[in-house]
Every structure is written in structure tokens, then in C-alpha cells.
Amino acid sequence: MFNSLRNRLITFYLAVVILGFGGLTLWSSNQIMASTITDFGNSLQIQALSVGGRLGEAMEYNPQGAAGILQETADNVGGEATLFNRSGQLQDSTSQTPLALVQTDSFVLQQDGSRTSQIIASAPVGEEGEINGYIQINVPRSIPAATARQRLLALWAVFATFSLLGISATYWLITSVTRPLEDLQQTALTMAGGDLSQRVADPSPDEIGDVGRAFNTMAEQVENIVADQRAFASNASHELRTPLTTIRLRTEMMLHDDLNEETKSEFVEEIDSEVKRMSGLVDDLLLLSRIDAKRLSAGTEQIDGVRLIQQLTAKLQPKAAGKNITLSLDSALGQCPITANLNHAETVFRNVVENGIKYTPEGGRVSINLTQTKEKFQVAVTDTGEGITAEDLPNIGKRFFRADRAHSRKVAGTGLGLALVVSILELYDGTLDVKSDGKGKGATFEVSWPL
């Protein structure tokens, strides 16, 4: 039962209300009862004193009037009035069974065996200090107690109303905390069951709502990551299936058809190039998955960036020349040391320069420009090639993305090269910036490598 937050809070609240407020109300009740009886007793004493004065006069000038004053007094207070002589002997009383004289300066509370508790007040009868007798007034305690009970009833009604209001408010408050938590739990369980589109509905604008919003953001991310991974797996299988189909077709033909030597060697070359393509793809996939799993860390070798690009340009010259493309390197830098793993740096720069050559038609130009700032080494590769539409620009660097799929089938590739570039650069806190004025207007790929 106490495992539930709601039960714990309600129990805690009830304990506070009942023990705290209840105790306070009980204590106040006793105080009210005692003070009502004291007030009543004091006023009875004052009455006794004033009646004592009046009786003194009456006994002197009109002894018959005394009985009337006694009766009037008894009626006024709702009790009994008794007159005693100077030596305390009973003179007259409104009661059949009058109480004996209790000589006192202030009222007393007395329990008589045959009656309920009585409040008794007595005072001397006489004028100017002369004592001719005593007047005693007694009233059952139940009379002021009934008045006190009226007040207590009001107090307990207030206590009950506030307790009920308090309990309702607490219940509302607790529910406003626990209900969103239950919703959150339900959403998490539904997501755990496989429905990743579930979200916490209408999170409130308070702190609990913040948890719901944070959960929704996380759910969004998880859903996107899973969708990306599914697309990645399906793209990867698709990319591997295409060369495999070609290889299977060629091997079947070689096994079953009677082919001449020339066709056979053409097929073997085709198979060889598909196998190379596949192994390149698998290498890229493995590297990407190692980066994703954070199993690849940034290298710490000191490499001269300028020399690296010079060597790369030299290596790629034949490829550019094959397409009659002018590949030029423009650099005012003598050298620029960067911290990296040589393979990582080579993969990044080779992919970008190779793409420039790949996506530039015959007779075009690819120029590499090197600059250095305080914080980074920058390599800008500008080509006069096919360019990139504004719509495709944000997708460049996403895994398996190839602009203009139908057209790009003619240009060999997998759509993983730049994804790899982006992932490696992330490892080094570097960036890839792509600019193009649109289709047919060339493109600039700028790599910034932190120093």
C-alpha cells in the first residue's frame, strides 16, 4: 500500500490534519469550555454582590420584598437563590431543597451527590459594611456548558469543512502529480512494446509537464534513430544485392553458356570490379559502424596537412587527366601541422577531391585552395561540375544519399563517402561546408580541420 506515492501522500496528509488540526481543535474546545464556565461564574458572583446590596435595603425598609427579589434573581439566572441569616442559617429559598451556604469571595463549582454539578456564588447582604445575612445563587453547570457546546459545534464544523476542503485539494494535487506519471509510464510501456510513435499527450505547463516534454523529445530521437538504422540496414542490403546480382548472372552465364575467351575475360573483369565495389562498401560500412559504436578514436599523429594534400593531388592527377579535367592546388602555405590519424585525414580529403573529379564533366576544372586561421586548417575544393540543387544541399553527407539517383547510376558510387567524411570530421570536431549555386553551376566543398 505504501509503495504508491498517492497512498503515501494521502496518509501523510491525513496524519497531519487529524493529529495536528484535530489536536489543536480539541485543545481549543477544552479552553472554550473552561473559559465559558469561568465567565459565567464571574458574572454570577457579580450578580450575587449586586443582589446582596438590594436585599440589604429591602430587609431594612421592606422585609416582604426580599422573597420577590430572590425569585426574580433565580428566574434571571435559571437557577436557585437562597437567603441566609448572619449566622448562616437558612432564611428563605426559591428551592425546596436548598444547598447549604458556601461562604466564598468568588464562585465555586461543586458536585453534589443528588444533583448535577452546580456553580455557586454567595455574597453578604447588607449596607455600608454591615452584614445582615448572605445571599447564595446556584446554577447547574449544564447551563453554561450548553452555551459552550454551541460554540464548540461551530468550531468543529469549521474544522470539518477545512479538513474536507484540505483533503479534496490534496487529492486533486496528488492526482495532478500521479496522473501524468501514470500517463508517462503507459507511454513508456507502449513504446517498449514496439510502438515508437507513442507520445505523452498534452504535457502540463509545470515541472511534471517538463518531464513529459523531455520524454517526448527523447522518444522523437529514439524513433528517428531507429528509422535511420532501419533505412541504413535496408540501403546497405540493397547496395550489396546489386553487385551480387551482377556477379551471379555473370558466373551463371560462364558456367552454363558456351562463351568465347574475349567475353569470358570481360565478365571476369566485371566480376572483379563488382567485388572491389562490394569490398569498398563493406569497408566503409565497417568504419561507419565503428565510429557509431564509438570504437574509433581521433588519432594523435602530427601530420603536415599541406604535404598530405600535395601528395593526394599528385596521386589523383592521372584520374583527372583521364577525364581531361584540370586539377590544381593553390596554396600560400608552406606547411600546416594537424593532429590526426593519417588514414582518417586521407579518407576525408580523398573523398572530397575525388568527388570533385567524379561529378565534373570532361574538360572541367577542380581547384584546391588551402588556407589557415588561428584555429583551423581549411581545404576548399571547387569544381565546375554538375552542382547541387538547393533542395538536395541539406541531404549531402547523409548516409546513402545520392542526388539525382537515375543520373548518378552512371557515376559509380554508394552514397557513403561523404557520410564517412562527416562522421570522421565529427570525431575531430571538424566541419564540412557545402556550397553550390544550383544544377550545372559547380560546387565548393570546404573542410575545416581544427589545429
Interacting residues toward ligand ADP by CB under 6 A: 351, 355-356, 359, 383, 385-388, 396, 401-403, 408, 413-419, 443
Per the listing, cell 577531391 goes with 353
Nearer to ligand ADP, 212 or 356 (CB): 356
Eight-class DSSP state of 101? P
Nearer to ligand ADP, 78 or 394 (CB): 394
Sign of CA dihedral 385, 389, 390, 393: negative
Decide: residue 241, CB within 10 A, 0-12 exposed, 13-18 middle, 19+ buried: exposed
Nearer to ligand ADP, 156 or 401 (CB): 401
Per the listing, cell 560462364 goes with 254
What is the Cα–Cα distance from 111 to 376, expressed in whole angstroms?
103
- Cα separation of the two ends of the chain: 61
Nearer to ligand ADP, 213 or 435 (CB): 435
Query: Taking the CB of residue 166, how many other CB atoms lie within 10 A of it?
Result: 15
Q: Which DSSP helix (H) or strand (E) runs through 401? A: none
Query: Taking the CB of residue 165, how many other CB atoms lie within 10 A of it?
Result: 10
Closest-by-Cβ residue to ligand ADP is 413
Please report, for residues 72, 344, 431, 447, the alpha-carbon distance to residue 308 in angstroms, rounded to integers and kept in the order given: 125, 12, 18, 14
Comparing CA positions, the residue from 336, 287, 280, 281 lying closest to residue 307 is: 336
Provide the minimum distance between the beta carbon of 274 and ligand ADP in the complex, in angstroms, as a whole number: 15
Nearer to ligand ADP, 36 or 423 (CB): 423
| Cα 432-434-436 angle, rounded to 5 deg | 170
Provide the minimum distance between the beta carbon of 405 and ligand ADP in the complex, in angstroms, as a whole number: 8
Provide the minimum distance between the beta carbon of 351 and ligand ADP in the complex, in angstroms, as a whole number: 6
Provide the minimum distance between the beta carbon of 218 and ligand ADP in the complex, in angstroms, as a whole number: 29
Cα-flanking dihedrals φ and ψ of residue 337, to 5°? Answer: -75, 130
Please report, for residues 36, 397, 427, 437, the alpha-carbon distance to residue 422 in angstroms, rounded to integers and kept in the order given: 87, 6, 9, 21
